[in-house]
Structure 1
């Protein structure tokens, strides 16, 4: 008999899937010719192709973690008027989608429809709730995104000139963001004051820059392509130095003044998302956007408590295994303070991460089909490292945070590496990009519940792959799983139940072996970024459950590599869609 909590989760997964006829997930079907399209399929394609083209050429470009189209010569237009204009477009698209007869769509397009409609719904909802008036949190910000512009590939002189033009547009972009934040402050819609202490450091790092050639923004110009004549290279280098000194640095200085003198003093003194204007609707939308489910905060809170209790028992078993004589709290203190568990230099941490990645390379082919793309490992840029998480990965790059080494325990590194590189985000993103039969709105999208659920599942998969070599590393895996379970409790505790910051800090500190630095940065992240932390555990629960169902239904016919391929070939999908697709995979592979 299912518990009420599990039943609630399954209901949230199952109900939307009833409207989706699963497309065969095991093999990639060749694209149907346009001439063979049904009228419904043609109408749907016309809608999403038009909107996607508009979005990619600048219409829907605004995002706190994106600097716009690759060939843009300016930063995004994030002003209130542009935001509302986007809402008009997306509301119109939703109205058009609602006129379609979804039952007349092909099975593949029924899946595409479910994904696309939810994507546009979330874009519209964010504007409708004026989320753009809070364009940063303690983890991510529009100004930190400037640093990552330098990582975009540039080959021609035109590419470099476009980049310089965007740097010169930073003052206008920052001014728009500032006006949006002022509007948020006026109505009580802001990041809580309690998590803003010291956050101007990442702004100051740029605003106090004296030598533009020492900026990460200058890095692409240190060695320009030989195809660009020497005289033009010198001209480009002079222009980028001027853009950094004359545009970027003053814009950061102006932003810092606003942040310190206006934003922090006027920021709200409450913590809960539900305490803001339209707070209950805002938090419920954040839950939907990041989990793709419509569970209530209370249901999620209870799921978290249940997971915390289960994982705690497994952690206690590891403590017995290593023969530690003392309480759970004393064991955590031992892990947080014993020098054997910490790297002495940034290079040591990076080298250990690389070694773990190469050990994964030796076995991963047994578990899933590999993408063509590879990834590199680089340290997190110093201007954002103090408030960034321990690591982050995506297609092409695994960032490892080498700031404050006593806060980066080595026993957590295997789980972190599995999550952020292969078989986690780097692999998942690379495989998604290869799904050429899927529309671009699917290949270029990232759905947190799917992506982060897969990342956490990848940590668990490390057991089968033999990546955890010591009981301490296995405890690190469990502390990472506990961390994600505790997020369900803390996020809903803060934003729905009115928890204080001290309650949240104590809960994470008492249940995980995270360092005190990580405990603080993570809790502040949950306080300032409602809902995002919920995606990991709920996504992993769904994948683990689906694997269990596949193993039970298929018996000896179950193939772990085929199962993982079926999950990964979806790209990035809402959990109800993944549920329907994997059930179709199970049905297709049952014994005749």
Structure 2
């Protein structure tokens, strides 16, 4: 994740001043601590805490350097090279992480403070996942159906500093070596039957084509034409000349070689099966993936059964919303109506992007009723790059930007956008990432740790939260939200069906089409992603269900004194944590609130 330094905005200071001046007229709002002004961590209380802190600080710094990042102006950024991905490098990393886990086992948890116990749990889960991937040699299949090692290397927006451009050129010069190591790994994986299924690879070679061009259609060359004029001459001209040289002499030949390998080797030799169970020792591998993404021990059967039950429950609610819309036909006819009626589709990419921006701004006006702490860091809204759009998801959020897919507009229904915006942008992923970045008194590794169960669970929870924020203005919007909820519940059934119970690709496509109003293009794209990324799809709904269950528990225990703002702050202020940690911390929050009630009520 690219992390930029949050800047203090005058508007934020003005808003805070106004809230103080008006007093009770506005809910109390706090602003997250800007990076660089955070409080210092308290000194370790004992030898166990000192050992733990030394361990996670040392591993974090080692990990950054190992993966080609360097500390610049107090934050870790991409260096002028790519990391080594050779089998030897991964074996070295596996050995190192095994040693780290052994050292962590030697630290007595009973001697750790509450905060350090959280640090230890986050650290252990992270390192276990890293070690697991290295041992299973997942680097031999270093991409999936929509996320590739050859894409995303170009910045989403032009760099503003000369030094950033020079490091970028250094990385471009290193692409031939980096791609060569990836190709060796993929060839080894193919030889032992460890590959992305062919059905999830077909057509992905087209995403490489733009980078083989030698004209302005090459995204790298186009980026060097966007160097900002704020960089003075002669540096600006030098950067453009050096960048073009790196692209034409190193990048284009490397991508051309990769394209040849993908078409002549990978597509020909990739496995024709779809399930993780068909990989070497695949069922054991799949169980580790569920553990990694959900951050708790669950069997495929448990996940599958929860999915079936939730699909049934959501379907009943969808029927109610369909009736509220006034539609008089059957459920399949309603889905067909939603997929085909022109009123539900943007006519231009700008119309779709403008609508997403309006939704995001509308949500901004509700945040004071939802959370108590707001981040300073801002995100922007961008279209998915053209070279990725045909096989990319509808949207994806992050710290710097939210991407929305404007390719094939008849497959991008507007009634899905309210739920998509709150999930990906605010108060979902972009909002969540900014709070994690700006959180005070937290070790560096905690600021950039991400667990899918927590992060995607929060994203899906914010879709439901939109019902309390007035985001869904029509029954169609609400059906879009339920389609997204059904989509995630169906994932539990589909993911385990594919990877444990022998489902075919078409069986998964048919199941998702029968239960959601997703466009056919999105359904196929999503199923291919589940095939290529075992276990990841299970994180969303199980994380969401954890948060919904915790909210119900808080409402039940606290009664009329329940306030969703501190409840949400408790979740967000933790940063990304394993689900068992989330449960214990929210329950501690509930207990503390109840104790406070008892103290106030006492005579």
TM-score by length of 1: 0.91
Residue in 1 that maps onto 2:164: 159
Distance, in Å, in 2 between the alignment partners of 1:224 and 1:311 is 49
Compared CA separation, residues 380 and 225, structure 1 to 2 (3 A):
closer
Distance 1:225 1:269, change over 3 A: closer
Among 100, 120, 123, the alignment partner of 2:130 is: 123
Residues 69 and 441 of structure 1, relative CA distance in 2, 3 Å threshold: closer
Distance 1:269 1:165 in 2: 38
Partner of 1:347: 350
CA distance in 2, matches of 1:392, 1:32: 33
Counterpart of 2:539 in structure 1 is 535
Contact 2:41/2:441 (8 A) holds in 1: no
Distance 1:502 1:311 in 2: 23
Q: Does 1:78 align with 2:82?
A: no
Aligned equivalent of 2:5:
none
Question: Displacement, 1:69?
Answer: 5.8
Distance 1:553 1:117, change over 3 A: same
Residue aligning to 1:313: 316
Conserved 8 A contact 2:472-2:478 = yes
Indicate which of 39, 46, 56 corresponds to 1:38: 46
Distance 1:318 1:257 in 2: 50
Asked if the contact 1:353/1:417 (under 8 Å) is kept, the reply is yes
Correspondence for 1:57 among 65, 68, 75: 65
Q: Secondary structure at the match of 2:381?
A: strand
| Whole-angstrom CA distance in 2 between matches of 1:535 and 1:61 | 28
Which residue in the other structure is 1:246 paired with? 249
CA contact (8 A) 2:69 2:79 kept: no
Runs of 4+ in structure 1 deviating by more than 6 angstroms, as ranges, are: 27-30
Cα pair 2:141 2:195 within 8 Å, conserved = yes
For residues 504-515 of structure 1, the aligned pairs below 5 Å read: 504-515=508-519
- Mapped pair 1:424 → 2:428: yes
Please state how far the C-alpha of 1:246 moved relative to its aligned partner: 1.6
Distance 1:415 1:122 in 2: 30
Deviates more, 1:461-470 or 1:75-84: 75-84
- Residue 237 of structure 1 corresponds to 240
- From 164, 189, 205, the equivalent of 1:184 is 189
- Report the CA distance between 1:227 and its aligned residue: 6.2
Alpha-carbon deviation of 1:230?
Answer: 1.3
Shift of 1:233: 1.5
Written as runs of structure 1 = structure 2, the 5 A alignment for 1:385-534 is 385-534=389-538
Matching of residue 296 in structure 1 with residue 299 in structure 2: yes
Q: Indicate if the aligned counterparts of 1:557 and 1:589 stay in contact, CA closer than 8 A.
A: no
Q: How many residues align?
A: 556
TM-aligned CA deviation for residue 155 of structure 1: 1.0
Q: Distance in 1 between matches of 2:206 and 2:78?
A: 31
Distance (whole Å) between structure 1 residues aligned to residue 158 and residue 88 of structure 2 = 29
| Local SS of the residue matching 2:208 | helix
CA distance in 2, matches of 1:255, 1:134: 14
Distance 1:382 1:581, change over 3 A: same
Provide the C-alpha distance between the structure 1 equivalents of 2:475 and 2:369, rounded to a whole number of angstroms: 24
CA distance in 2, matches of 1:60, 1:101: 33
Q: CA deviation at 1:61?
A: 6.8
Question: Alpha-carbon deviation of 1:494?
Answer: 0.2
- Match for 2:204 among 175, 188, 199? 199
Give the deviation of 1:198 after TM superposition: 1.2
Q: Is the 8 A contact 1:447 1:574 kept in 2?
A: yes
The alpha carbon displacement at 1:216 in A equals 3.2
Range with bigger deviation, 480-489 or 52-61:
52-61
- 5+ residue gaps, structure 2: 1-31, 599-603
SS in 2 for 1:464: coil
Partner of 2:327: 324
Please say which of residues 276-285 and 337-346 is displaced more in the overlay.
276-285
CA offsets 1:52-97 (integer angstroms, 9 cap, x no match): 11111235879xxxxx962511112111111111111111101110
| 2:146 equivalent to 1:139 | yes
1:378 aligns with 2:382: yes
Structure 1 residue 152: Cα displacement: 7.2
Q: Residue 396 of structure 2: SS of its match in structure 1? A: strand
Write the distance in 1 (CA, Å) between the matches of 2:507 and 2:156: 40
State which drifts further: 483-492 or 73-82: 73-82
CA distance, structure 1, for counterparts of residue 565 and residue 587 of structure 2: 16
Greater mean deviation of Cα atoms: 359-368 or 226-235: 226-235
Distance in structure 2 (CA, Å) of the matches to 1:537 and 1:422: 19
**CA shift at 1:32, angstroms?**
5.4
**Residue deviations 1:438-482 (CA, integer Å, cap 9, x gap):** 111111111111000000000000000001010000000000000
RMSD over equivalenced CA pairs, Å = 1.9
In the alignment, the residues of structure 1 paired with residue 159 and residue 46 of structure 2 have an alpha-carbon distance, to the nearest angstrom, of 40
Confirm or deny: 8 A CA contact 1:181 1:190 kept in the other structure.
yes
Question: Is this contact kept in 1: 2:429–2:455, CA < 8 A?
Answer: yes
The separation in 1 between residues aligned to 2:226 and 2:61, in whole angstroms, is: 34
Which moved further from structure 2: 68-77 or 492-501? 68-77
The 10-residue stretch of structure 1 (216-225 or 89-98) with the greater mean CA deviation from structure 2: 216-225
